[in-house]
Amino acid sequence: MSTGLISLIVLGLAAVGFVLGRNRAIRDAGGDTRVLHSLPFFHGLVVFLATAVPAFLVLILWLIVQPMIVNSRVSGMIPADVAPDAAAQTLALSDVRRISGGLDAAIDQDKITPDELEAMTTDATDVRALLGTVGVALGSDVNPAVFEAAKAYRKLDATGAIGRTIAVLAAALLGFGIAFPRINRDFRARNASERFITVTLFAASTVAVLTTVGIILSLVFETFHFFTLYPALDFFLGTVWNPQFRGGSELGILPLLWGTLYVSFIALLVAVPVGLLSAIYLSEYASRRVRTVVKPLIEILAGIPTIVYGLFALITVGPILRDYFAQPLNLGNSSSSVMTAGIVMGIMVIPFVSSLSDDIINAVPQSLRDGSLGLGATPSETIRKVVLPAALPGVVGAILLAASRAIGETMIVVMGAGAAAKLSLNPFEAMTTITVKIVSQLTGDTEFASPETLVAFALGLTLFVVTLGLNILALYIVRKYREQYE
């Protein structure tokens, strides 16, 4: 029985349970619902939940566990000469799955009967041709052991499906059997169902924690794996990035780190003055009308997807910088460069700096400004000598947040900065960043046992730690600063 059908049956049982539970409560109250502890609806709900929830938990658990057991049983059947290592084992297993799927299709289409299949061997029948007729194309002839494994896989799968149906229905009936007899006029059905709702809400809020745990575990686990293949010291202190897919790679992070910091530095060089000065102008000088027009326009910059900035860097900014600056000045002739990516990323980061600084400047108490203006300072003197120093910690926090954005940004650097890992000072040269290399090492056909692929996880962990550190620091500074004026 398919998963969808089982789910429908369980839901149907639960719905029946709802009606039965509700009616039982009303009957127990003698038709006068006022004497019930909870509304009839809650009595029904308790039976509904007791029927459906355990059944679905069993179903989900079964769906996760069954493939694991079947795989381990079947992979034991594949001899070592077919699958000498882990990668070949995975391939053989996927062959097994495809063959068994093909055999299912063949039986569905009446090409063979189950009894014929039982007696079938690869010597007597051309399995590959048979599977070809039902639309499963195989790359080579079927190995006898693999074919036997596929037959066993089919059988195990079928047994599992029957077991699953029985277990799920049993869980549903058991839940019903436990909950239904307890329904009576004094049963605290509302409290029971509300406890369930609260627990569900709590479970939803733990998804965020689970995500973080997932990120950390997957990064740390694979990074550790990487460091068993490649010395950690060489990774953190190496100045050459030269992955070779034949082995003997040099995977030093320093050139990537340099590229990342250089691009981010240029981005901040663009974003901080522009963002800060516009925030000052908007909060201190601009009229209401200008504010209502300009502020949303700047916010638009934050809403534009980064791929758009990437394309802008690729087709507009890169060629302009190359033709009007880099080539006339003899600084290089590449349209992707640190400068291209930095400037475009700077534009992207402007709204982060400006809206955060805006908040922070607005949080400076008006009395400070009034005092300064009352002593005869001009508005600009007030801003430079009173407001900004008072807002400084917050502004620093905003800049740190912007820096963390810039360091973690991917698409702009993938499309604008280039792919050459270099330690150079010339901003018109193509350089590369941590994020670019994560993308290039993990896209395409990847084999998860080589250091060239696993290095991406170490890079990811470095990136995660750096951005997290910057964020925590920035949030700490901003919070400290806010408290100061509250």
Partner 1 sequence: MTDISAAPASGSHRGSLLVQDELTRKRNAAETRFRLYGIVAISIAMLALAALLISIFSAGMPAFRQTFVTIPIELPADKLDKSGTRDSAVMAKVTTVGYAKVINEALAAALAAKGISTDGMTEKQIAGLLSPEAPAQLRNYVLANPAVVGTSLPEFELLANGRVDGFFKGRVTMESAKLDSNITPEQLQVAQKMTDAGLMGKRFNWAFITAPDASDQRPEAAGLGVAILGSLYMMIVVLVLSLPIGVAAAVYLEEFAVKNFWTDLIEVNIANLAAVPSIVFGILGLAVFINFAGLPQSAPIVGGLVLTLMTLPRIIIPARAALKAVPPSIRDAALGVGASKVQSVFHHVLPLAAPGILTGMIIGLAQALGETAPLLLIGMVAFVRDYPGGLPGGLFDPATALPVQVYSWTTRGDPGFVERASGAIIVLLVFLLIMNAVAIVLRRRFERRW
CB nearer partner 1, residue 150 or residue 470: 470
User: Could you tell me if 373 and 395 are in contact, meaning their C-beta atoms sit under 8 angstroms apart?
Assistant: no
**Contacting partner 1 within 151-210 (CB under 8 A):** 190, 194, 197-198, 200-202, 204-209
53/46 Cα distance (integer angstroms): 10
453/461 Cα distance (integer angstroms): 14
Min CB(305)–partner 1 separation in Å: 3
Answer yes or no whether residue 60 interacts with partner 1 by CB under 8 A: no
**Contacting partner 1 within 133-152 (CB under 8 A):** none
**Contacting partner 1 within 315-374 (CB under 8 A):** 315-316, 347, 350, 354
CB nearer partner 1, residue 20 or residue 38: 38
Dihedral sign for Cα atoms in the order 272, 312, 302, 425: negative
Q: Which one among 99, 172, 298, 421 touches partner 1, defined by CB under 8 A?
A: 298
Sequence-distant (6+) residues with CB within 8 A of 166 are none
Min CB(436)–partner 1 separation in Å: 10
CB nearer partner 1, residue 209 or residue 425: 209
256/244 Cα distance (integer angstroms): 17
CB nearer partner 1, residue 207 or residue 229: 207
CB nearer partner 1, residue 174 or residue 301: 301
CB nearer partner 1, residue 194 or residue 250: 194
Min CB(423)–partner 1 separation in Å: 23
Sequence-distant (6+) residues with CB within 8 A of 286 are 294
Q: Which one among 119, 124, 137, 300 touches partner 1, defined by CB under 8 A?
A: 300
Answer yes or no whether residue 120 interacts with partner 1 by CB under 8 A: no
Min CB(396)–partner 1 separation in Å: 17
CB nearer partner 1, residue 27 or residue 385: 385
Q: Which one among 261, 368, 396, 468 touches partner 1, defined by CB under 8 A?
A: 468
Residue 252 amino acid letter: G
Nearest to 141 by CA among 153, 157, 130, 156: 130
DSSP 200-251: HHHHHHTHHHHHHHHHHHHHHHHHHHHHHHS-HHHHHH---EE--TTS--EE
150/127 Cα distance (integer angstroms): 12
DSSP 69-129: HHHHHHHTTS-TTT--SHHHHHHHHHHHHHHHHHHHHHHHTTSS-HHHHHH--TTTS-HHH
454/447 Cα distance (integer angstroms): 9
Answer yes or no whether residue 467 interacts with partner 1 by CB under 8 A: yes
Answer yes or no whether residue 67 interacts with partner 1 by CB under 8 A: yes
457/229 Cα distance (integer angstroms): 13
Pattern of binders to partner 1 over 411-430, x per CB under 8 A? x--xx---------------
Which span sits near partner 1 by CB under 8 A: 13-21, 154-162, 388-396, 464-472?
464-472
Min CB(460)–partner 1 separation in Å: 5
Min CB(120)–partner 1 separation in Å: 28
DSSP 327: T
Inter-CA distances, 46 with 25, 169, 175, 180, Å: 11, 18, 10, 9
CB nearer partner 1, residue 104 or residue 194: 194
Helices 254-280 and 388-408 meet at what angle, rounded to 10? 140
**Contacting partner 1 within 20-49 (CB under 8 A):** none
User: Could you tell me if 144 and 123 are in contact, meaning their C-beta atoms sit under 8 angstroms apart?
Assistant: yes
Which span sits near partner 1 by CB under 8 A: 54-62, 212-220, 226-234, 253-261?
212-220
Answer yes or no whether residue 80 interacts with partner 1 by CB under 8 A: no
CB nearer partner 1, residue 232 or residue 449: 449
CB nearer partner 1, residue 221 or residue 485: 221
CB nearer partner 1, residue 20 or residue 150: 150
- Specify the DSSP element, H or E, that contains 287: none
Min CB(195)–partner 1 separation in Å: 9
User: Could you tell me if 259 and 340 are in contact, meaning their C-beta atoms sit under 8 angstroms apart?
Assistant: no
Min CB(299)–partner 1 separation in Å: 10
Answer yes or no whether residue 245 interacts with partner 1 by CB under 8 A: no
Question: Count residues contacting partner 1 (CB under 8 A)?
Answer: 85
Q: Which one among 303, 329, 425, 486 touches partner 1, defined by CB under 8 A?
A: 303
Burial pattern 405-420, b for ≥16 Cβ within 10 A else e, equals: bbbbbbbbbbbbbbee
308/188 Cα distance (integer angstroms): 57
**Contacting partner 1 within 266-295 (CB under 8 A):** 273-278, 280-282, 285, 294
CB nearer partner 1, residue 141 or residue 370: 370
441/446 Cα distance (integer angstroms): 8
